[in-house]
Chain A
């Protein structure tokens, strides 16, 4: 048991430590890597980059802190999960009535339940209050973004509307607790927005927030994005935010094929996700992040050949490009740790 003040202050301490890791340890590690690469032979891939840093004490602490600051954030005396569990009764009441359309018969796929994603004990699906835990945790996923995290979703929405200017029907797949969906229903008050996810606890939170925002044109439904119940050609725009890296490649491929089936001819598909730059250091950092953060499909997504897959599935106008999630983040002089955001877009 911890009191609310201690919980908040401990979480603030952990965020401060994560910010130090982001702004100080990461650039120092990058410098050490460069110095070692110049002194020895330059690594050609992530494996060689790992070998170059094998005996680096800084690299070990960098890895340790990435793993364990996240553990402390979710677990232990001041963790998000126990604190929310302590307030379970009040929080479950807050989620009533559940306005999401849930599917009691849905079976979660084995890949989804095998790992507690983000080191969130029980994952985002097994506890009725998991959506609230996830929402609170996501506020500090990118320490430097802070309150500007909303900016990221608005930027994605703008990028989607550049490719599909006035969609009447939008599908947000893997909508989670509805943060990505919100940018769409706020920007497109006339459009019909459907948002689907596997996790019932997240959908309940998303539906509650949409109801509070008086957004009547959005529905949250529990469904597997790889196998939906919508008819062919029923959407102008299919989108996802930070979804593809959470699936094994075979499921990514089925999901993309399903998205193509759901799109009207000429309709646009726009995903925001992570793919490291073609650089051994960035690959090492990103693949290691996936492992340390319990996101085992980060590396397989980066290696599956997404552009070729999209073309094979019959998409056209395939684009995979770096995405500037915040002002200046893709400038060459940017030194801090960041996710390797990419925009993945295509057209049916």
Chain B
């Protein structure tokens, strides 16, 4: 494993900005998917206004755990500071 390149005086910022960008990607993916879903449901007359705003049940939360873990893993692997493809270090 080779240490990732750094661009800021404090490498913590390099890693932290990776977290920000990963999160931004997830947010965008989620927003796009949610919009697509809402449109599809509205077209079919399945979704009423405000239906997605209700609190999820404990069963719903348990069901989404694996997806949540994958989300967290993607977000936080940035903190390791290791190159994903081997190249110049430093």
A contact residues vs B (CB 8 Å cutoff):
1, 5-6, 9-10, 13-14, 17, 60-61, 63-64, 67-69, 71-72, 74-79, 114-116, 118-123, 291-292, 294, 296
Query: In the bound complex, how far is the Cα of B43 from the Cα of A271, in angstroms?
Result: 54
When A67-B7, A72-B21, A77-B74 are in contact, do A10 and B28 touch as well, CB less than 8 Å?
yes
A61: chain B residues at CB < 8 Å are 7, 17
Indicate the size class of the contact surface on chain B: 20 to 34
A9-B29, A64-B17, A79-B84 are known; give 15 further A-B pairs, CB within 8 A.
A1-B70, A60-B8, A67-B5, A68-B17, A71-B84, A72-B25, A76-B74, A76-B84, A78-B25, A115-B86, A291-B88, A292-B5, A294-B85, A294-B86, A296-B88
Name the one of A13, A60, A63, A115 contacting B87, with C-beta atoms under 8 angstroms: A115
Q: B77 within 8 Å of A by Cβ?
A: yes
Q: B33 within 8 Å of A by Cβ?
A: yes
B32: chain A residues at CB < 8 Å are 9
CB-based nearest A residue for B67: A1
Q: Are A119 and B84 in contact (CB under 8 A)?
A: yes
B87: chain A residues at CB < 8 Å are 115-116, 119, 294, 296
Query: In the bound complex, how far is the Cα of B73 from the Cα of A77, in angstroms?
Result: 9
Query: In the bound complex, how far is the Cα of B7 from the Cα of A144, in angstroms?
Result: 25
Name the one of A75, A78, A122, A291 contacting B5, with C-beta atoms under 8 angstroms: A291
Q: Are A77 and B21 in contact (CB under 8 A)?
A: no
A6: chain B residues at CB < 8 Å are 29, 33
Query: In the bound complex, how far is the Cα of B18 from the Cα of A61, in angstroms?
Result: 11
B contact residues vs A (CB 8 Å cutoff):
5, 7-8, 14, 17-18, 21-22, 24-25, 28-29, 32-33, 36, 70, 73-74, 77, 84-88
Query: In the bound complex, how far is the Cα of B21 from the Cα of A64, in angstroms?
Result: 11
Q: Are A9 and B7 in contact (CB under 8 A)?
A: no
CB-based nearest B residue for A76: B74
B85: chain A residues at CB < 8 Å are 71, 74-75, 116, 118-123, 294
Which of A5, A72, A123 has the most chain B CB atoms closer than 10 A to its own CB? Answer: A72
13 A-B contacts, Cβ less than 8 Å apart?
Answer: A5-B36, A6-B29, A13-B25, A68-B21, A74-B85, A75-B84, A76-B74, A77-B74, A78-B29, A116-B86, A118-B85, A123-B85, A294-B86
Name the one of A10, A120, A296 contacting B25, with C-beta atoms under 8 angstroms: A10
Min CB distance A14 to B, Å, is 7
Query: In the bound complex, how far is the Cα of B17 from the Cα of A116, in angstroms?
Result: 23
B88: chain A residues at CB < 8 Å are 115, 291, 294, 296
Query: In the bound complex, how far is the Cα of B5 from the Cα of A60, in angstroms?
Result: 12
When A5-B33, A9-B32, A72-B21 are in contact, do A77 and B84 touch as well, CB less than 8 Å?
no
Min CB distance A299 to B, Å, is 11
Min CB distance A283 to B, Å, is 17
Q: Are A77 and B86 in contact (CB under 8 A)?
A: no
Min CB distance B23 to A, Å, is 12
Query: In the bound complex, how far is the Cα of B24 from the Cα of A46, in angstroms?
Result: 33
Q: Are A64 and B70 in contact (CB under 8 A)?
A: no
B73: chain A residues at CB < 8 Å are 77
B33: chain A residues at CB < 8 Å are 5-6, 9
Min CB distance B40 to A, Å, is 12
When A5-B33, A78-B29 are in contact, do A121 and B7 touch as well, CB less than 8 Å?
no
Q: Are A63 and B7 in contact (CB under 8 A)?
A: yes
Nearest 6 A/B pairs, CB to CB:
A116-B85, A294-B87, A75-B84, A77-B74, A119-B85, A13-B28
Name the one of A9, A63, A120 contacting B28, with C-beta atoms under 8 angstroms: A9
A75: chain B residues at CB < 8 Å are 84-85
A118: chain B residues at CB < 8 Å are 85
A294: chain B residues at CB < 8 Å are 85-88
Query: In the bound complex, how far is the Cα of B5 from the Cα of A34, in angstroms?
Result: 26
Query: In the bound complex, how far is the Cα of B17 from the Cα of A60, in angstroms?
Result: 11
Q: Are B84 and A74 in contact (CB under 8 A)?
A: yes
Which of B17, B25, B33, B85 has the most chain A CB atoms closer than 10 A to its own CB? Answer: B85
When A115-B87, A119-B84 are in contact, do A72 and B8 touch as well, CB less than 8 Å?
no
